[in-house]
Amino acid sequence: MDFLLSVIGYAVDLGNVWRFPYICYQNGGGAFLLPYLLMAVFGGVPLFYMELALGQFHRSGCISIWKHICPIFKGIGFAICVIALYIAFYYNTIMAWALYYLISSFRPTLPWVTCNNAWNTPNCTRYTYADLDLNRSWVNTSTSPSEEFFIRYVLQVHRSPGLHHLGPVSWQLALCLLLIFTVVYFSIWKGVKTSGKVVWVTATFPYLVLLVLLVRGATLPGAWKGVAFYLKPDWRKLLTTTVWIDAAAQIFFSLGPGFGVLLALSSYNPFHNNCYRDALVTSSVNCLTSFLSGFVIFSVLGYMAEMRQQGVETVAKNAACPLFITYAEAIANMPASTFFSIIFFLMIIMLGLDSTFAGLEGVITAVLDEFPHVFVKHREWFVLGLVCVCYLGSLSTLAYGGAYVVKLFEEYATGPAVITVVLLEVIAVSWFYGMPRFCNDLQFIIGSFLAFPPEVKLFNYLYPPWTTVVGYCIGVSSLICVPSYMVYYLITTPGTFKQRLLKSITPVPGGAHRGTVITNAV
């Protein structure tokens, strides 16, 4: 159960709570569920299952496992570790923002409710549901108190002209991030035995909060208008390629193959654990959570549209950072706003913590398996060093222009690189390791083998052309590990070139229990 909760906690993250509902409404509402489910069945779940099976059979992390599959592809493991570090550099910053909001929620009045604060501008306009009876309207120049609190007080992004001058680091956010990484360290320093217990809270609490917010959202005025907008099918959208691409991208990044996490976590499983069942359960929970989150989010957007006397589509499109602006504003206008604010931002933190636990465990397992004589006896110190590196790497995201850095990493550091990694994984397993051998491995462990980015913009800042080059360099920097290791392996392996090439694609026998076959797992 620890493993299942860890994988669910990793797969169900902030992308499920916010990204899926928006992708869904942008691509035909209820009609989007058809390509989404098809991509899950024929793409996401098989890749998810493949990584669980490989990790469980070979008992290795994302680096050392390649000597059992195809040694020359070992660079994939190093690329995965670099990608994981890039994610840690920006993903935990979002949790630091949420922690800042959480701390700010312990006040008699939430600070993003009023417009009479030092950081507010003349354009700040507060609207409540009571304003519907007054002759007031929301105009294009109006900004909400929650938007100004986030942009001008938490991020202070107005003090930075762009990526060319980020400004100093915010000490408040630096302390919040330090607290986040402290929690992360003491949750993973002893390995999956400690993190496996922590996820009993961090993986289950968000579902309780989602249920509470769903019930509360359903009782808000205009809520069903938002839900109807979320689910209204536009079947014509299915004729466009964009819908199918977005469906594939969403299910792919939601389930999370290619990040080394599934290989790492499954390597600690009992050898005959039914990973086929785990893949189906986790994928189903992931998809259902995404669908449920849509009701939670769009019921509140319907309420906001009713309050502002705007269409739901207008409210949704104008939300630059929805979790910290639109949803925070909606909470501020609810009765018992302090309570809902506390549990909401606590949920965001826990969703992020689960993914961070798993992401760093993927790197830790990979390095410890590859260099056991160096780090195994000093795991606590290695984890401390890794966490310190991640913290220092995150400092640029805490500057006044740090939100621009977060967006840059989000757009370039993961997308194309992870897709390339997974493509190389599939090629290595299918063509070099061989499907007959892979199916035979599944027979041993469970008894059956069946079982380029658009223009980047944030707030009103349009990223200059040179940042595209920087972004692509970030993405390519992780993939360089793959050809670099191929060259290194061919150079350092003894023998003729033909012998070296043959050895580079010949897997080292793996599997801890090849002599035992079970036939009743499925």
Sorted by where each begins, the domain ranges of the chain are 2-504
Tell me if residue 290 falls in helix, strand or coil.
helix
Task: Tell me: is residue 2 an annotated ligand-binding position.
Answer: no
Name 286's Cβ contacts closer than 8 Å, sequence gap at least 6: 8, 11, 12, 16, 254, 255
Find out whether 460 is annotated in a ligand binding site. no
State which amino acid sits at residue 324: F
Q: What is the pLDDT of residue 43?
A: 84
Residue type, 84: A
pTM higher than 0.95 for the full model?
no
CATH of domain 2-504: 1.10.4160
Q: Tell me if 196 sits within 8 A of 282, measured CB to CB.
A: no
pLDDT at 452: 47
Q: Is 293 annotated as a binding residue?
A: no
Q: Are 80 and 472 in contact (CB under 8 A)?
A: no
Rg (CA), the chain: 24
Measured CA to CA, the distance from residue 121 to residue 143 in angstroms comes to 9
CA distance 84 to 263: 13
Helix axes 465-479, 75-104, angle to 10 degrees: 130
> Which residues, including other chains, have CB under 8 Å from residue 456's CB and lie 6 or more apart?
407, 408, 411, 462, 463, 467, 468, 471
pLDDT of residue 319: 57
CA dist 66 to 362, 493, 496, 506, Å? Answer: 15, 16, 22, 10
Residues 6+ apart with CB under 8 A from 61: 55, 77, 260, 263, 264, 267, 362, 365, 366, 367, 368, 369, 370
Q: Which of 373, 423, 38, 387 is nearest to 238 (CA)?
A: 38
Query: Rounded CA gap, 203 and 181, in Å?
Result: 18
The first and second tokens of residue 199, run together, are: 């996820």
3-state secondary structure of 162: strand
Residue 396 CA from chain centroid, whole number = 20
16 in a labelled binding site: yes
Both tokens of residue 127? Answer: 């609207």
Q: Which of 118, 119, 138, 120 is nearest to 128 (CA)?
A: 138
* Spatial separation of the C-alpha atoms in residues 356 and 353, rounded to whole Å: 5
Sort 109 into a burial class: Cβ within 10 Å, 0-12 / 13-18 / 19+.
Answer: exposed
Backbone angles phi and psi of 28, in degrees to 5: 105, 10
Question: For 450, how many CA atoms within 13 A lie in the half-sphere containing its CB?
Answer: 3
pLDDT of residue 16: 82
Helix (H, G, I), strand (E, B) or coil at 118: coil
DSSP helix/strand/coil, 339: helix
Gap between the Cα atoms of 389 and 366, Å rounded: 17
Per-residue pLDDT of the chain (522 residues; tens, 9 = 90+): 677 788 887 778 887 887 788 788 778 888 888 888 888 888 888 889 898 989 888 888 889 998 888 888 999 999 999 999 999 999 999 999 999 999 999 988 899 988 888 888 888 887 665 555 455 555 556 788 888 899 999 999 888 888 888 899 999 999 999 999 999 999 888 877 777 778 888 888 888 999 999 999 888 888 888 888 888 888 888 888 888 888 887 887 788 888 888 888 888 888 888 888 888 888 889 888 888 888 888 888 888 888 878 787 777 765 557 788 888 888 888 888 899 999 999 999 998 898 898 889 999 999 998 888 888 788 899 999 999 999 999 999 999 999 999 988 887 887 778 888 888 998 998 888 888 888 888 877 766 555 445 556 666 677 777 777 777 787 778 778 888 888 888 888 888 878 888 888 888 776 555 444 443 333
Residue with tokens 């594939």: 248
Map tokens 């009103």 to a residue: 460
Say how far apart CA 436 and CA 247 lie, in whole Å. 30
Which tokens is 243 given? 């819908």
Tell me: is residue 286 an annotated ligand-binding position: yes
What is the SS3 assignment for 321?
coil
Per 3-state DSSP, the chain is made up of helix, strand and coil in percentages (nearest 5) of: 70, 0, 25
* 291 and 30 Cβ atoms separated by less than 8 Å: no
Report the run of H or E that residue 180 belongs to, with start and end: helix 171-188
Residue 104 annotated as binding?
no
CA distance 298 to 308: 15
Instruction: Report the relative pairing of strands 457-458 and 461-462 from DSSP bridges.
Output: antiparallel
Asked whether residue 9 is marked as a ligand-binding residue, the answer is yes
Q: Say what angle helices 2-11 and 192-202 make with each other, to 10 degrees.
A: 60
